[in-house]
């Protein structure tokens, strides 16, 4: 099996309760935007052309985002493209927060990051399992991919991937079905 399937199956094994998955649709974007915002400062102007006096601001957020997007492309080109879009939106929001006063920037970054994790832990209380990253830090990178994949599955996309994940990790449970 591909590395994409292996990573999603491993992550999905910790996320089979619909309520837990739902909390991830709120918590993960909040965490990602919080990180993007926190890393949006400082930014250094880097010259990008030898003939044009053009420079682009490069922040730690831009460097981390680039590395993460490369990781997703290495797993799958289609998801790499979707994750580029997801992280571009998060980076845009993070830069907007980073342009605020220092107090607003720090407070918003911390609120999003801590609030996002709080929501995640509520979801795992529903699940009755610890978060995936406790056993494997790669889970921190797979979380955003998982919600993008789950959104696609709900739209009827990549059903063969969804079926393989469910075959190996088990079906998603509704709230009425207790975990085994």
Q: What pLDDT shows up at residue 56?
A: 72
**85 occurs within a structural domain:** yes
The list of the chain residues with pLDDT below 70 reads 1, 50-52, 175-180
Compute CA distances 9 → 18, 29, 81, 107, whole Å.
16, 21, 21, 35
For residue 135, the model assigns a pLDDT of 82
User: For residue 160, is it within any domain?
Assistant: yes
CA distance 111 to 94: 13
Q: Is residue 52 part of a domain?
A: yes
Q: What pLDDT, on the 0 to 100 scale, is given for residue 52?
A: 65
Do 28 and 149 contact (CB within 8 A), yes or no?
Answer: no
3-state secondary structure the chain: CCHHHHHHHHHHCCCCEHHHHHHHHHHHHHHHHHHHHHCCCCCEEEECCCCCCCEEEECHHHHHHHHHHHHHHHHCHHHHHHHHHHHHHHHHHHHHHHCCCHHHHHHHHHHHHHHHHHHHHHHHHHHCCCCHHHCCCCHHHHHHHHHHHHHHHHCCCCHHHHHHHHHHHCCCECCCCCCC
Report if residue 178 sits inside a domain.
no
177 within some domain: no
179 in a structural domain: no
**How many domains are contained in the chain?**
1
Query: Domain for residue 176, yes or no?
Result: no
Domain of residue 34 covers 3-169
- Its pTM stands at 0.89
pLDDT at site 82: 97
Residue 47, domain member (yes or no): yes
Residues constituting the chain: 180
């Amino acid at each position: 099996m591909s590395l994409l399937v292996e990573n999603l199956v491993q992550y999905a094994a910790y996320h089979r309760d619909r309520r837990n998955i739902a909390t991830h649709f709120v918590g993960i974007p909040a965490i990602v935007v919080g990180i993007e915002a926190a890393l949006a400062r400082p930014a250094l102007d880097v010259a990008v052309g030898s003939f044009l006096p053009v420079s682009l601001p490069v922040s730690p957020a831009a460097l981390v985002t680039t590395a993460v997007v490369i990781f997703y492309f290495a797993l799958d080109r289609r998801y790499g493209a979707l994750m580029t879009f997801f992280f571009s939106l998060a980076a845009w929001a993070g830069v907007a927060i980073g342009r605020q006063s220092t107090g607003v920037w720090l407070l918003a970054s911390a609120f999003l990051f801590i609030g996002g994790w709080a929501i995640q832990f509520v979801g795992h209380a529903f699940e009755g399992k610890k978060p995936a990253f406790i056993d494997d830090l790669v889970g921190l990178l797979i979380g955003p991919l998982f919600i993008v994949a789950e959104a696609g599955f709900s739209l009827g996309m990549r059903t063969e991937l969804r079926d393989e994940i469910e075959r190996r990790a088990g079906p998603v449970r509704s709230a009425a079905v207790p975990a085994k």
